[in-house]
Amino acid sequence: MENVLIYSDSIANSEYTPTHPFKPVRARFFLELLNRYHRNDYFSVLSPERLDEELLYLFHDEWYIDLLKRADRGEFTVEMLYAGLGTADNPLFRGMFDLMLKIAGGTYAGAKLLLNGKARCVFSPISGLHHAERNRASGFCYVNDIAIAGAALVREGRRIACVDIDAHHGNGVQDAFYASDRVLTISVHESGETLFPGSGNETEIGEGAGVGYNVNIPLKAGTDDEVYVYAFDAIVPQLLEQFAPEIVFMQIGGDCHRDDPLAHLNVTSNGYKSVVGTVNSLSPRILAMGGGGYNVFKTAALWVLAWSTLTGVKPEDKFAGLVGGMMYGPEMEAGSLEDLPFASEPQEKDACFSEAERVVEQLRKTVFPLHGL
């Protein structure tokens, strides 16, 4: 089975507004770095097609999608504001509906490739819009491609897991599957006490048939690699092994990195690679989605490292030692794709560890027994 990248210049060259922090151009930077550090004979590139509009209604309310289409045509009503459209986070712009259909279409196409056994690993850099709600845009997300593709697989009787390491809680995905035992949803994120969207407490473990299948690991601002990996490894591997999903969706947002301007974690490429590697080792088939990441060059570098980890192909700098080699983004900032080790100051680290241990203990008491652990 092959490895597949979901990419198109039309998506990478789009923008919400010139000053908006969500930059699809990250995907182009990622591809340029990938061409620098990787050969190209072990993966294929698939250009996403527009999602069949009917599939949107596997998650979204029809009246909300109608608002989205009207906003795309240049209309504006107060009702749109109530639906999160036309705000600073979610501005209105021409082509927005087409862009969302292509993003969701790429995620859905990747899921179908995995489902049909045509790929083992798929990565869609501009995807993972985990904040969009059934009837509301939220957090730069207008449609929830994860919820749509996940619902499509559940409809076909598949068991999937969604593992989200974006710094922000995946509230829209949580809501989509909160009452389902067909989807194991795990979000590892900065605590809602200090970061949008303010949700994702460890006590939010699902409802009805879904009790125990929604897992949140909120982390204190300042959490570094050691604390991050401890909390992740204490919970995620055992649940994944026990649940045994056929396909794993992984939202690998780069905003967990310590250089991200919109979050407050102290994770480096070392912790990031560790958790991606853990999930990869437990996943028969994996669909990775780019999610957030607002230091665009660092995010592109993290995605290259994630892709390397997922495919088992070691990155090698083709331009190392050459005069006039590329110097931009991660190279200018750090000299390589990798970060040097970093540890928080002792007092901050102790506070973060204490909070992580409390969350781990709580989940082991409330969630693990529901899975026979």
Residue 257: count other Cβ atoms within 10 Å of its Cβ. 24
- Both structure tokens of 263: 């979050």
- Sheet strand arrangement including 2-6: 43-46, 2-6, 119-124, 286-289, 247-251, 160-164, 183-190, 214-219
CA distance linking residue 28 with residue 8, whole number of Å: 9
For 122, residues 6+ apart whose C-beta sits below 8 A from its C-beta are: 3, 4, 5, 6, 110, 111, 113, 114, 286, 287, 288
For 314, residues 6+ apart whose C-beta sits below 8 A from its C-beta are: 308
Among residues 221, 188, 225, which one has the least CA distance to residue 343? 225
Classify residue 368 by its DSSP letter: G
Q: What is the dihedral of CA 237, 242, 246, 248, to 10 degrees?
A: -30
Is residue 189 helix, strand or coil? strand
In a 10 Å sphere around its CB, with 0-12 CB exposed, 13-18 middle and 19+ buried, how is residue 215 labelled? buried
Catalytic residue (one of 38, 60, 130, 131): 131
Q: Is the dihedral of CA 282, 184, 170, 76 positive or negative?
A: positive
Residue 39: count other Cβ atoms within 10 Å of its Cβ. 11
CA distance linking residue 74 with residue 92, whole number of Å: 8
- H or E, element range at 131: none
Q: Where are the alpha helices (DSSP H) in 156-217?
A: 171-177
Place of tokens 């909120």: 218
Instruction: Clarify whether 20 is annotated catalytic.
Output: no
Classify residue 126 by its DSSP letter: S
In the chain the first and final C-alpha atoms are separated, in Å, by 33
Q: Which residues are catalytic?
A: 131
